[in-house]
A = this chain, B = another copy of it.
């Protein structure tokens, strides 16, 4: 269907539109214009319309977009109408924080297992019905539980190895929080969330804005 070249940036904006549409829907609103969406999210109205137009003409000229309909269309595009089995590799602070991160379950991302290689952690409960499993059993469990998305929250040194293990086990998408870039086969979908890079980027921004004002 819409399999062609849509940029990752467009997809991320779509996910942000979706969140805003849900909010409007909860407030009882029925329609919204591209101008209003852009206003709220800090984007040009034309950007919003262009992003949506890649997937079809969802709006009504002279009116705007019907919130309920558009939210449904966008959730379909983003794969939010089905559920996804997710595993977390690395039962440290960040891994455990993600177990309770708000909004994931509601969007269909179900964290069904947590792995670690540390024998002190293996077997310990991390959530009502979850216990840390030895990473040696990852492949077996990914298959048994039909896990499609793996989240890496290990130390940097283990990230590449875990990425390969996940890919080989049949995981289709990876989200990497470890402070190291990983590479995965072309066929897998990868998202890198680089926390320490974000800090450096902010620090750079502060320095340059101070220089500008000299």
Contacts and interface: CB of A to CB of B under 8 A. Distances in A.
Interface of A: 1-3, 6, 8, 11-12, 14-16, 18-19, 41-42, 77-80, 84, 86, 92-94, 96-104, 107, 109, 148-149, 155-156, 172-175, 179-181, 183, 187-191, 193-212
A103 B173 contact: no
Contact of A203 (B8, B149, B194): B149
Contact of A193 (B195, B204, B208): B195
Nearest to A101: B195
Contacts of A188: 209
**What is the count of identical protomers in the complex?**
2
B12 A206 contact: no
A140 to B, nearest CB: 21
Given A173-B206, A175-B199, 8 more contacts: A2-B208, A12-B194, A42-B183, A78-B200, A92-B97, A104-B196, A172-B209, A175-B202
Contact of A189 (B107, B180, B209): B209
A2 B1 CA distance: 46
A138 to B, nearest CB: 18
B104 A93 contact: no
A202 B179 contact: no
21 contacts: A12-B200, A14-B200, A15-B194, A15-B201, A41-B181, A79-B206, A80-B200, A84-B199, A86-B199, A93-B93, A104-B196, A104-B199, A107-B199, A172-B206, A173-B205, A188-B209, A189-B201, A189-B205, A189-B209, A190-B205, A193-B195
Contact of A179 (B84, B99, B102, B211): B102
Contacts of A212: 3
Contacts of A18: 200
